[in-house]
Chain A
Amino acid sequence: MVTQETLNFLFSLLHKESGLALDDSKTYLIETRLDPIARQEGFPSINDLGRHMKQHPSQPLRQKVIDAMMTNETSFFRDVKPFELLKGVVIPDLLKANEKGRRIRIWTAGCSTGQEPYTISMLLCEMGPALRQWDIGILATDIADGALARAKAGIYSQYEVQRGLPVTYLTRFFNQRKTEWEIKQEVKRLVEFRRLNLLSGFSHLGIFDVIFCRNVLIYFDADTKVRIMEQFADILSSGGVFFLGGAETPFGITGKFTRIETEKGVCYKKNTIPMQP
């Protein structure tokens, strides 16, 4: 049994360091995710792990605990529509708007094991000649080291390459390695992976034309959501586009975005005139 004291300590640590907002109803999550970590680290129970962390604020162990508590669920072409919109509307618009500088910067915040940035990269590769002589960069960040390491390796199981990925993308953009599939260099080339905690601020990253932050903020409390969404608005270029997960909305959180609805799906643009949330 995990004691209330341990739970309180872990909840507050996770909240402070990752934004993850949990309460007692999520005790089972602590149990299932941290039991293996406690064992690995040689503690008889999660309570002992908690006590040790309290006394020794060692960063690597904290990072391991945070890693284990993250939900890394993702897939190629997740929800499809945002990617259709990106390819069919957003990128063509940017090709006109950014004609002078010939540069497009895309950020996927909370990229997990890499399927989201690689989906974007495959779409860009597919647009081929239209993008020749353009400087295109996809920055992909996450707080979880384990997920990032997998993302960088770009090697996926047979199960993962069947989730949402049209088979023609599999044959075109992957090499087979026995039962696993490795994304090709031409796709990897456009993506830079970096560890970044969204709580520690990110204005130093510069301005982006497109920001994806899907299914990440759902785990955060309202105040943290406000703070992070407003920062996204601040670093979005004037014609820039922001994508949230299917079940998420900025409304009721911040008035900095306008909803853009197209037949290919929904995205958000920065308001030029600020509105009430």
Chain B
Amino acid sequence: MKVLIVDDSGLVRRLMRKMISDLGHEPLEAIHGKDALKQLEAHPDIGLMMLDWNMPEMNGVELLDAIKLRWDPVKRPTIIMVTTENQMEKIVQALAKGANEYIMKPFTREILIEKLSILGITNGCN
């Protein structure tokens, strides 16, 4: 599955890229929300987006709003917020805006695997 990693930190993107490809999925990257919109247009087959909250240009929840406006909810990718924001009201806000799952940083490989399995996403086969 194509997985779009949206994070302004190159280090975080690199770590997540490794985790995603180790699980047999195909990682793509975007450095902020606006970049992510471009990637989503260019690759309509992106199945999952891992989305940071705090980023320049367009942040994670702004991207959620933009996606809500433009995409048919059945056609849009599954979205996991991956952020250091760890307050209950932030989590509730992101879910209300359309995120499907939420991972608080720092996180481990086990957490990622279990969250993917909650979303019905199993390991890829390559």
Q: Is A36 part of the contact surface with B, judged by Cβ < 8 Å?
A: no
State in angstroms the CA–CA spacing of A96 and B111 once bound together.
37
Asked whether B86 lies within 8 Å of A162 as measured between CB atoms, the reply is no
With A167-B95, A167-B102, A171-B95: A162-B88 Cβ-Cβ less than 8 Å: no
Asked whether B118 lies within 8 Å of A176 as measured between CB atoms, the reply is no
Q: Which of A164, A166, A175 contacts B101 (CB under 8 A)? A: A166
Asked whether A162 lies within 8 Å of B95 as measured between CB atoms, the reply is no
Q: Which of A80, A162, A164 contacts B103 (CB under 8 A)? A: A162
Q: Is B62 part of the contact surface with A, judged by Cβ < 8 Å?
A: no
Q: Which of B86, B88, B118 contacts A166 (CB under 8 A)? A: B118
Q: Is B97 part of the contact surface with A, judged by Cβ < 8 Å?
A: no
Count of chain A residues near B, Cβ 8 A: 16
By beta carbon, the residue of chain A nearest B101 is: A167
Q: Is B34 part of the contact surface with A, judged by Cβ < 8 Å?
A: no
Q: Is B110 part of the contact surface with A, judged by Cβ < 8 Å?
A: yes
Q: Is B9 part of the contact surface with A, judged by Cβ < 8 Å?
A: no
Q: Chain B residues near A176: list those with CB within 8 A.
A: 87-88
State in angstroms the CA–CA spacing of A176 and B110 once bound together.
22
Asked whether B88 lies within 8 Å of A171 as measured between CB atoms, the reply is yes
Q: Chain A residues near B117: list those with CB within 8 A.
A: 80
Q: Is B92 part of the contact surface with A, judged by Cβ < 8 Å?
A: yes
Q: Is B65 part of the contact surface with A, judged by Cβ < 8 Å?
A: no
Q: Is B91 part of the contact surface with A, judged by Cβ < 8 Å?
A: yes
Q: Chain A residues near B45: list those with CB within 8 A.
A: none
Q: Is A179 part of the contact surface with B, judged by Cβ < 8 Å?
A: yes
Q: Chain B residues near A170: list those with CB within 8 A.
A: 91, 102
With A167-B95, A171-B91, A171-B92: A158-B86 Cβ-Cβ less than 8 Å: yes
Q: Is B114 part of the contact surface with A, judged by Cβ < 8 Å?
A: yes
Asked whether A162 lies within 8 Å of B118 as measured between CB atoms, the reply is no
Asked whether A163 lies within 8 Å of B110 as measured between CB atoms, the reply is yes
Asked whether A167 lies within 8 Å of B91 as measured between CB atoms, the reply is yes
Asked whether B115 lies within 8 Å of A162 as measured between CB atoms, the reply is yes
State in angstroms the CA–CA spacing of A167 and B114 once bound together.
11
Minimum C-beta distance from B119 to chain A (A):
9
By beta carbon, the residue of chain A nearest B87 is: A176
What sequence of 0s and 1s flags, for each residue 148-170 of chain A, a beta carbon within 8 Å of any chain B beta carbon? 00000000001100111011101
By beta carbon, the residue of chain B nearest A176 is: B88
State in angstroms the CA–CA spacing of A158 and B87 once bound together.
11
Which A residues, 155 to 195, have Cβ-Cβ distances below 8 Å to chain B? 158-159, 162-164, 166-168, 170-171, 175-176, 179
**Chain B residues engaging chain A, CB cutoff 8 angstroms:** 86-88, 91-92, 95, 101-104, 107-108, 110-111, 114-115, 117-118
> What are 30 A-B pairs at a CB distance below 8 A?
A75-B114, A77-B114, A80-B117, A80-B118, A158-B86, A159-B108, A159-B111, A162-B103, A162-B107, A162-B111, A162-B114, A162-B115, A163-B111, A163-B114, A166-B101, A166-B118, A167-B91, A167-B95, A167-B101, A167-B102, A168-B95, A170-B91, A170-B102, A171-B88, A171-B91, A171-B92, A171-B95, A175-B88, A176-B87, A176-B88
Contacts A158-B86, A158-B104, A171-B95 supplied; 9 other A-B pairs, CB < 8 Å: A77-B114, A159-B111, A162-B114, A163-B110, A164-B114, A166-B118, A167-B102, A168-B95, A170-B91
